[in-house]
Each structure stands twice: as C-alpha cells, then as structure tokens.
Structure 1
Amino acid sequence: MSRFSTILAFLAAGAAPVSLAAQTPTPAQGLGGPVIPGICLLSREAIFANAAVAKAATTRLAELTRTAQAEIDQQRTPLEAEVKSLEGQPDNAQTKQKRDGLATRWTALQRKAAHNSREIDATRAKAMERISTEVQPVIAQAYTSRKCGLLLDRNASLGGNFANDLTADVVKGLDAKLQSFNFDRERLPEQQQP
C-alpha cells in the first residue's frame, strides 16, 4: 500500500463543500510562528468546492436531481388532484375502492421517489470517487514537491503557520488536469417490496 493510498481514503471520506475563501486562515487561525518542515496541510472540502471539475460535477448532479424530481412531480400532480376530488364524497363502497386504489398508487410513488433518491446518491458517490481518483496524483505531486512528511487536514488545525497548505496548489493542478467529465444517473435495480 503506497503512502498516497491513504490520501485517496482521506478524500473519499468527503464532507460538505466549503469555499476556498471561507477556508483562508483568519487572524485567529493564522497565529504565525515558524514553518514546520515536512508538515503539510490540505482541505478536501475546499478542493471539492473550488476545483472546476467538482463545480461541473455539482452542476450536473443538480440537473440529474431536477430530472428525477420532475419524474415524481409529473406523477404526483394527478394523484393530488384525485385526492382533492375525493374530498367530501360520501363514504360508500365505490369511494372506498377509489381511496384504496389511490393509496396503493401513492405508496408506489413514494417507493419510486425513494428509489430515485438512492440513484442520485449512488451517482454522487461515483462522481466523488472519480474526482478523488483524479486528484490523488495531483496531491502526491504537491506532497512530494513540498517535501512533506506528514499531511494533515487543514480544518483540524487550530492555528499556526499555514505556509505549507497544499490546497490551492492541488486545486490549480486538478484544474489543469481535468475541467469536467460526463456522467449520467446511476440506475439501480428496483427493490422488491414484501
């Protein structure tokens, strides 16, 4: 196992995107002091928020999410109209039958919405994995060129001298390597209901 395979695991852990500007050391963080040779910092959140490929993937995921939601909305609207039409109708066998059929269709739509959500989650995970794979050699190159011996999560640091922060160099290197990639929604098999 290479020393950089742990970097991939570090990136794959993922987190909510945070802008690079928001991660710039503040006066409270930038306590100064000597640069500690061999200790380097990296913010995976800032990489995923600021690299062009991550921004493009986020845009594509938003498109896929809107499409998945539109599929549900298209089926939900007539069901909601049917619910309204049944309001105030007398409780007889025919109305009960219509309500039962409506409940069955509503449950099926809820299952479909949950399934679509799982597909979007799987798509997001696959895109993040691809970005993590692409960024690994960029991190390795920055790590080697700065003669790092230890790489720490920048967000775990309370203060100090951040001169050995690799984040901006990694974002720049990843941008030079890859701007975007094509992907579609992952298709998962439907789960059978008991």
Structure 2
Amino acid sequence: MKLFAIGAFALASLAAGSAAAQAAAPTNPGPVLPGVCVFHNERLLAQSTAGQSVQAGMQRLVTEVQGELAPYGASLQTEAQALQQGGQAADPDGSRMRAWQARAQEAQQLEQRRQAELQYTQQMQVRTIAQSADPILVAVYQERGCGLLLDRSAVYISNPAMDVTDIVIQRLNTALPSISFNRLEVPAQQQQ
C-alpha cells in the first residue's frame, strides 16, 4: 500500500511559493508603475500564521492517517507472507486468499477515502484563509491606489515596491492568527 504522497503534496503546495519568492532579485528593479500592484498568494499561504497553522495541522492529520492505516498494511503483508510460504497446503480451497483480497480492497478504499478527506480538509482551510484575506486585499488595493493587481505567479520580476503581499500577510496575521481544525468528511455530492 502506498502511504500518502498526499502528505508531501499538501505541505509542498502550501509552501511552494516561499522558494520562488527568494529568487535573486535584480539590482535595479525598474520604476514603480503607478496603479500596478502585485500580490503573491502562495507566499501568503506559506508565511502567514494561519497558513503555517494549516501546514502544521495537515502534517498532524497525515501522521494520524498514516498511523490508522499502518496496521492494515502490516496485517495484510503478514497474511500475504503466510499464504506465500504455506503454499497450496495453507489455503487448499482458496478461501484465505479471497478473504485477504477482500481485506486488501477494503484497506485500499479506506486509504482512498482518507486521501480524499485530507485533500478536502486542506481545500476548506485554504478557503478559510482566502475568505479572510480577500477583504484585506481589497482594502490594500484601494489604499495603494491600485488600478491593476497582478498575481505574482504570472509575473516573472517586478519592482518590490509594487508588491502588497507583506502588508496583506501582516493584516491577516492580526485578523486570523491561526486555524484549528480536524479532518473533514467529504460531502456526499462531492464524492461522485
């Protein structure tokens, strides 16, 4: 059984922007373009206290799920070895093998359900951050007199003076210092 590439993905996707944000900047970034602002959502998710609490919470949930699934994998592996070593004599009518296959399928379905729950939980927590950050971003947009707000992921290099990410992170840290959550079940209508 594969044990969670989702864990690595969940953490990497939240922190992906931090490496890109630290790329070498030019010594002369060019002029500040009035009315043009840049915002880096990935950096908000990676550096805000709420984003960091989501990263920590997701790591906790991944560890819990791995702990829940590990006994299934160990049991299935032990039974598979016993069947293999015992050969035909250990399972003359094939009933043990059929039972093992049924348990393996159940374990796989459980793992898939848990992966879906982790993905859904992460989506809901990121949505919570976005809902809290949106009014802050709109306020900063208006305060800075932005006429155009560009997503940093679509901009290769920009003058750092046009970047509003730091002020949005500061205000979000005040408005939403952390998020506490548990694993969420995927609603039935989204499971299909």
* TM-score range relative to shorter protein: 0.7 to 0.9
Aligned to 2:152: 154
Question: For the residues of structure 2 that align with 1:31 and 1:23, how far apart are their CA atoms?
Answer: 17
Unpaired segments of 5 or more residues in structure 1?
1-14
Aligned-partner SS, 1:91 = helix
In the alignment, structure 1 residue 90 sits paired with structure 2 residue 101:
no
Aligned to 1:81: 78
* 1:3-35 Cα deviation digits (max 9, x unpaired): xxxxxxxxxxxx65335474146334x643221
In the alignment, structure 1 residue 173 sits paired with structure 2 residue 171:
yes
Q: In structure 1, which of residues 33, 39, 42 is the aligned counterpart of residue 39 of structure 2?
A: 42
**CA RMSD after TM alignment:** 2.2
In the alignment, structure 1 residue 58 sits paired with structure 2 residue 42:
no
Aligned to 2:67: 70
Q: In structure 2, which of residues 140, 151, 154 is the aligned counterpart of residue 142 of structure 1?
A: 140
Is the CA contact (8 Å cut-off) linking 1:40 and 1:164 kept in structure 2?
yes
Question: For the residues of structure 1 that align with 2:16 and 2:76, how far apart are their CA atoms?
Answer: 39
Q: Which has the higher helix share?
A: 2
Is the CA contact (8 Å cut-off) linking 1:19 and 1:46 kept in structure 2?
yes
The TM-score with structure 1 as length reference comes to 0.82
The TM-score with structure 2 as length reference comes to 0.82
* 1:22-81 Cα deviation digits (max 9, x unpaired): 4146334x6432211100001001101100000001101111111112111122211211
Q: Percent identity?
A: 25
Question: For the residues of structure 2 that align with 1:27 and 1:118, how far apart are their CA atoms?
Answer: 39
Unpaired segments of 5 or more residues in structure 2?
1-12
Aligned to 2:109: 111
Question: For the residues of structure 1 that align with 2:135 and 2:38, how far apart are their CA atoms?
Answer: 16
